[in-house]
Amino acid sequence: MDPTRRPFTRRSLLVNSTAFSGMILTPRLLRGAGPPDDATKPDHGFKIGVPDWSVGKLADPAAFDIARQLGLDGVQISLGTAANDMHLRKVEVQQRYRETARRTGLAIASLAIGEMNSIPYKSDDRAERWVWDSVDVAGAMGVQVILLAFFNKGDLRNDPEGVKEVIRRLRHVAPKAEKQGVILGIESWLSAEDHMKIIDGVGSSAVRVYYDLGNSHLRGYDIYREIRWLGLKHICEFHAKDYKFIFGQGKVDFVRVRRAMDDIGYRGWIQIEGAQPLGMMESYRKDAVYLRKVFPPKL
């Protein structure tokens, strides 16, 4: 069955907003069915960041200097790599990141464990330990969201036993995350419906979806409907991506994405993980300028 045709029965969908053209966007036009009142106050806008691996600085504080050159608000940082034994678990490494963030005037947006793509959470005890420790790191670094990656060797599609083990392991760590106010965000190739099977299986508010716009669009899911269906309760953060394209010139309609975010009341981080057809710096500068127009810091 086409994933975009699956019945969305968990909650009623809001009526889709009508399409409109132009880049001059106003809060009134974009609110659509209307998010909660406090989500549209002037001090509740969006923040644009970038993952460290997207700027070629995986697990390297130098990513902050590049993000500053791009005019961004912050960086999504990696817990580390297998080679450096997830070095952000060390107090001295955490301090280097804090100092770099302070010097550049940028924020540490969230954490990520991308190494789980090659050392799967569903089958490798090392990954389970990393996730457990990452909750403490997030608390120490003052961030709320941890991206857990489930691609390549960690892919959960057509792997019911893998999903079952992921649920078991998340049940173990979720109470710790809840206690520390940390959210574990699942990023995978799964549909919204299949993500919810994991979330329901864990039964914790600390487990949510880390929603990648490009990945889900590439899989054929109706991303605008999925965002509304999952809602603010089940989405913790977003990756902005449009395979092969500069934002605004490709297949992902970011204006429709914004309207879906408005409908659920989302305000927060959007991380650029885009294509680089013009080279990384020029491509991401253009992406950042475009995203600022659609997702402004002040509404």
Rounded CA-CA distance 33/152 in Å is 38
Contacts of 74 (CB under 8 A, 6+ apart): 47, 49, 67, 101, 106, 107, 108, 109, 269
The amino acid present at 292, given as its one-letter code, is R
Worst-scoring range by mean pLDDT, 25-39, 131-145, 149-163, 266-280? 25-39
Q: Which residue has the higher pLDDT, 21 or 114?
A: 114
On the question of pLDDT at 208 being above 50, the answer is: yes
What is the residue-averaged pLDDT of the chain?
A: 89
Rounded CA-CA distance 172/132 in Å is 9
Quick one: pLDDT at residue 33?
30
pTM: 0.86
- Rg, the chain, Cα only: 18
Please count the other Cβ atoms lying within 10 Å of the Cβ belonging to residue 72.
27
Q: What share of the chain is helix, strand, coil (3-state, %, to 5)?
A: 45, 15, 40
Quick one: pLDDT at residue 298?
85
Query: Would you call 119 helix, strand, or coil by DSSP?
Result: coil
Mean pLDDT, residues 155-173 taken together:
98
Worst-scoring range by mean pLDDT, 19-28, 70-79, 80-89, 209-218? 19-28
On the question of pLDDT at 277 being above 80, the answer is: yes
Chain centroid, CA 183 distance in Å: 11
Full set of structural domains in the chain with CATH: 46-294 (3.20.20.150)
